[in-house]
Amino acid sequence: MKMSQLFTRTSKTAPADEQAKNAQLLIKAGFIHKEMAGVYDYLPLGSIVLNKIIQVIREEMNAIGGQEIFLSALQPKDNWEKSGRWHDDAVDVWFKTRMHAGEGYHLGPELGLGNTHEEALTALMRNFIKSYKDLPSYPYQFQTKFRNELRSKSGIMRCREFIMKDLYSFSRDQAQHDKFYEKTKQAYLKIFERLGLGDITYLTFASGGSFSKFSHEFQTITDIGEDTIYVHEGKRLAINKEVYTDEVLADLGVAKEELVEKRAVEVGNIFTLGTRFSEPLELTFTDENGDVKPVIMGSYGIGPGRIMGTIVEHFADDKGIVWPKEIAPARVYLASVGVSDQVVKVADELYKILSEANIEVLYDDRDARPGEKFADADLMGIPYRVVISEKTVAHNRCEIKTRTAQEAQLADASDVIKMVAA
RNA sequence: CGGGGUGUGGCGCAGUUGGCUAGCGCGCCUGGUUUGGGACCAGGAGGUCGAAGGUUCGAGUCCUUUCACCCCGACCA
């Protein structure tokens, strides 16, 4: 991609109405735009990053048998009444609206904008799950969730509209459920590893429900987090403050002295639902003996947008964003310095060579001064910066440096390909 | 929803106790000079001061109402 064609621009000043580092940097760099409190637009570069995060999650969900679907955001109220979650006393984050009823402004049936999809999917699966042979099944989606938070905050970390990956497991019995539950745990850990958050993300024990003692959260250590957790570094686990009791400590075989209190953000969670939804929504199957039984369910969420914000918070330095390679909007920031025909020609050529080697390049071909280009390269957090200037052209080389390195080094185009591909 | 704070060109800000054609920096447009860490000169466009109402000869400055945004708390992926 060429900077001269990118419609967004960077800003020297952070917006006054954002306090959170993630929002300040993402807006300065032109990755996102704020529509209103807790509602953000993703611009070209932000969209690329978000989709890369989504792709990592997608690959890992597919690897454990997930089948991608895409459910509607508009929800009829029937299913929610069956589960008892339509009433505002039960769920206080509803955005509700109504259909039209004929001409004019007559109000028709009530609708809700989905804040989660247990009800919708459970009802849907009644059409397909009839027999034990239909189980297990693992549909998942990346969907916009709407939650009318009392207070959105922390930039893109707590939004009223946000993308969530939600997978739901449908199993015939507890054993089958437990097996998959363990698999998702590992898949989740792998996801955070791939996204560069492995070291600071902990499997965290949190409150369960009627069907399990615990649910499991994936908590990433960050100051901007809203949760307090107690980390056991040796065992790579943590305990959410909400279940931090002597009994739980004994259960998990950890001593108080081994735990360290930290602030963290919940980037994912997995939850055993049991028959919480299959019973009221009558999702049942017939087993080998002809017995009709309710399906055992689980739900597994991850917030790609929240992960994006967390990554910005964690890796950013005083110059701007620092993206991990796997999700950076481009691998290389190619900057031409100077406007001589030679420089432009060599930079254009290198852009072509890198592109043909399938290396994603953000090519700063603008007629701008070097300082501005370097500052933007840093702000946007591209992993490698490659510079073509009179000096480098004279040596028939180019200059390369990583985002966080102090010094650059000279290299051939072939070296560059090798270095950035690693 | 309780407490605190803020709304002035696209962005960041200034604007004394009400006073004259509402300023500054960045960005933008035109021309020129520049090109290794956000250049410089000259010229130019763009705002009725969140909105509504009121007080006054006169309101960005005062009053009322209202909307929006940020932070803390409570609540929540």
Task: From residues 324-353 of A, list those within 7 angstroms of strand B by Cβ.
Answer: 337-339
DSSP state of A228: E
CA distances to A71, A137, A414 from A222, in Å = 32, 35, 39
Rounded CA-CA distance A197/A354 in Å is: 28
Please say whether the beta carbons of A236 and A200 come within 8 A: no
Of all nucleotides, the one whose C1′ comes closest to residue A217's CA is: B77
Closest CA to A242 of A222, A214, A269, A211: A214
- A274: β partners: A297
Of all nucleotides, the one whose C1′ comes closest to residue A93's CA is: B76
- Give, as ranges, the nucleotides of chain B with any atom within 7 Å of a protein CB: 1-2, 6, 11-13, 25-27, 34-39, 68-77
Closest CA to A50 of A72, A26, A77, A34: A26
Closest CA to A400 of A29, A4, A392, A321: A392
Of all nucleotides, the one whose C1′ comes closest to residue A320's CA is: B38
A304 is near strand B: CB distance < 7 Å: no
Rounded CA-CA distance A381/A307 in Å is: 16
Helix ranges (DSSP H) in A264-367? 304-315, 341-356
CA distances to A169, A339, A365, A401, A410 from A342, in Å = 59, 8, 13, 22, 18
Of all nucleotides, the one whose C1′ comes closest to residue A36's CA is: B69
A119 is near strand B: CB distance < 7 Å: no
Please say whether the beta carbons of A135 and A171 come within 8 A: yes
A235 is near strand B: CB distance < 7 Å: no
Interatomic distance A337 CA / B58 C1' (Å):
56
CA distances to A95, A322, A358, A402 from A377, in Å = 40, 10, 20, 10
Nearest-CA residue relative to C1' of B12: A13
A225 is near strand B: CB distance < 7 Å: no
CA distances to A18, A168, A288, A376 from A173, in Å = 48, 15, 13, 54
pLDDT tens sequence for chain A (422 residues): 999 999 999 999 999 999 999 999 999 999 999 999 999 999 999 999 999 999 999 999 999 999 999 999 999 999 999 999 999 888 989 999 888 877 666 778 899 999 999 999 999 999 999 999 999 999 999 999 999 988 888 999 999 999 999 999 999 999 999 999 999 999 999 999 999 999 999 999 999 888 999 999 999 999 899 999 999 999 999 999 999 999 999 999 999 999 999 999 999 999 999 999 999 999 999 999 999 999 999 999 999 999 999 999 999 999 999 999 999 999 999 999 999 999 999 999 999 999 999 999 999 999 999 999 999 999 999 999 999 999 999 999 999 999 999 999 999 999 999 999 98
Q: In b/e form, how buried is each residue of A15-27, taking b as 16+ CB within 10 angstroms?
A: eeebebbbbbbbb
- A218: β partners: A203, A268
A372 is near strand B: CB distance < 7 Å: yes
Q: Quick check: ipTM above 0.95?
A: no
Peptide bond into A329 cis (omega under 30): no
Phi and psi at residue A212, to the nearest 5°: -155, 155
Report the number of secondary-structure helices (H) and strands (E) in chain A. 11, 21
Interatomic distance A393 CA / B33 C1' (Å):
25
Of all nucleotides, the one whose C1′ comes closest to residue A370's CA is: B36
Helix ranges (DSSP H) in A268-322? 304-315
Amino acid identity of residue A141, one-letter, is Q
Task: From residues 75-94 of A, list those within 7 angstroms of strand B by Cβ.
Answer: 92-93
Interatomic distance A124 CA / B73 C1' (Å):
41
Closest CA to A252 of A265, A269, A236, A268: A236
Interatomic distance A39 CA / B5 C1' (Å):
22
Task: From residues 149-168 of A, list those within 7 angstroms of strand B by Cβ.
Answer: 149-155, 157-159, 162, 164
